[in-house]
């Protein structure tokens, strides 16, 4: 025998469905059928207020049969309701991913020290405008990337690849690097040395092996038109005294990786800029991070050990 609580719950669900069917499709039924449904509904509503589960179950079954007789063509089955609910949730999630927010995983070390391999971050897709999904076309623009923004974009030279870099030049700018210092429109962007032997972990392209970052890496704090962030530079390799000048055309941005000697950015492959239509969004927060130096439970003893695992200190870290 069903419990009183479950009997009442099933009855209330059926009464809710009955009210919806009568409201939407009541005119399609005969006066006699309409009256029968109304009477059965009233009886069930009265029974729900009692403490007799058998009576509630019997009247629930009676109303269910009447609804099937009178509204069988339009009544949704439980399976159909489930499919529609799941389908609606999937469509909402897909719409959010296409137009509002998307997760991006950092696959390489080109943005070290700002972003580490294995960081999972959210990108805001509506900050600059609305973009046609799967196409490098901006439907409408209400904002523009600023110097210092970290953006995810579809590569202009490798169309099937998404990249993440920092905006250094905006339309109309002339960008130069003189002895590794960034100049914008002839104005030096100041930087400060923080460490001369910065250590980090890099990873092979097939993601099968971790290894220490190569060379002697110097850590800097760079001020890019008021946007402060950290950059990395190898001190043990030769650098050209000057790079550029690079002129940024209308509707595009010039990008660099924060790991300046390990980033294929706007300086390479014949130089290129990123059209607004290729920009998928701005990276704004790290939500999850897994990689070398994280913490995980060792097998056997259950003690914590430093291996490839959760880097909890990076969870929910804002991206600057």
The reply to whether 89 falls in a domain is no
The overall pTM is greater than 0.85: no
Which range is least confidently modeled, 119-123, 253-257, 301-305?
301-305
The reply to whether 206 falls in a domain is yes
pLDDT at 28 over 80: no
Same domain, yes or no, for 228 and 283?
Answer: yes
> What domain range includes position 292?
97-318
Same domain, yes or no, for 68 and 141?
Answer: no
Among the options 108, 125, 165, 263, which is catalytic?
A: 165
The DSSP output letter for 87 is H
Same domain, yes or no, for 160 and 251?
Answer: yes
Same domain, yes or no, for 286 and 155?
Answer: yes
Which range is least confidently modeled, 85-89, 115-119, 123-127, 171-175?
85-89
Q: How many Å apart are CA 4 and CA 227, to the nearest integer?
A: 64
**Which candidate, 66, 2, 75, 76, places its Cα nearest to that of 37?**
66
User: Mean per-residue pLDDT for 98-103?
Assistant: 79
> Percentage of the chain with pLDDT > 70?
90
Same domain, yes or no, for 27 and 115?
Answer: no
pLDDT at residue 230 in the model: 97
pLDDT at 76 over 70: no
Same domain, yes or no, for 64 and 113?
Answer: no
The reply to whether 92 falls in a domain is no
The four Cα atoms 231, 232, 238, 242 give a dihedral, to 10 degrees, of -10
pLDDT at residue 299 in the model: 57
In the residue annotation, 165 being an active-site residue is answered as yes
In the residue annotation, 110 being an active-site residue is answered as yes
The reply to whether 222 falls in a domain is yes
The reply to whether 87 falls in a domain is no
Pairing of β 304-310 and β 279-297: antiparallel
The reply to whether 91 falls in a domain is no
Q: For residue 85, what pLDDT band results from cuts at 50, 70 and 90?
A: low
CATH number at residue 204: 2.10.109.10
Same domain, yes or no, for 149 and 257?
Answer: yes
Among the options 110, 252, 266, 289, which is catalytic?
A: 110
Q: Give residue-wise pLDDT tens across range 217-230.
A: 999 999 999 999 99
Domain count across the chain: 2
The reply to whether 80 falls in a domain is no
């Amino acid at each position: 025998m069903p419990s009183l609580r479950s009997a009442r719950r099933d009855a209330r669900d059926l009464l809710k469905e009955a009210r919806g069917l009568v409201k939407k499709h009541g005119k399609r039924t005969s006066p006699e059928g309409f009256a029968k449904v109304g009477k059965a509904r009233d009886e069930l509503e009265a029974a729900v207020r009692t403490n007799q589960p058998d009576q509630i179950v019997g009247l629930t079954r009676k109303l269910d049969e009447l609804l099937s007789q009178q509204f069988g063509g339009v009544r949704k089955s439980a399976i159909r309701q489930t499919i529609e609910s799941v389908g609606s949730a999937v469509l909402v999630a897909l719409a959010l991913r296409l137009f509002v927010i998307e997760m991006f995983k950092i696959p390489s070390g080109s943005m070290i020290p700002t972003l580490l391999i294995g960081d999972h971050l959210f990108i805001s897709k509506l900050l600059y405008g609305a973009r046609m999904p799967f196409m490098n076309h901006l439907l409408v623009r209400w904002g523009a990337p600023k110097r210092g923004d970290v953006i995810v974009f579809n590569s202009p030279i490798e169309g099937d690849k998404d990249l993440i870099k920092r905006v250094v030049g905006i339309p109309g700018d002339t960008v130069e690097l003189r002895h590794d210092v960034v100049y914008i429109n002839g104005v030096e962007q100041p930087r400060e040395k923080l460490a001369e032997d910065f250590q980090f972990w890099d990873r092979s392209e097939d993601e099968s092996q971790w290894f220490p970052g190569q060379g002697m890496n110097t850590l800097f704090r760079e001020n890019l038109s008021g946007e402060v962030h950290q950059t990395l530079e190898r001190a043990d390799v030769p650098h050209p005294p000057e790079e550029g000048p690079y002129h940024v055309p209308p509707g595009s941005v010039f990008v660099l990786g924060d790991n300046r000697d390990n980033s294929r950015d706007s300086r390479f492959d014949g130089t290129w800029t990123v059209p607004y239509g290729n920009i998928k969004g701005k990276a704004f927060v790290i939500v999850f991070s897994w990689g070398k130096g994280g913490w995980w439970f060792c097998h056997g003893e259950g003690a914590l050990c430093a291996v490839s695992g959760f880097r909890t200190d990076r969870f929910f870290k804002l991206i600057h």
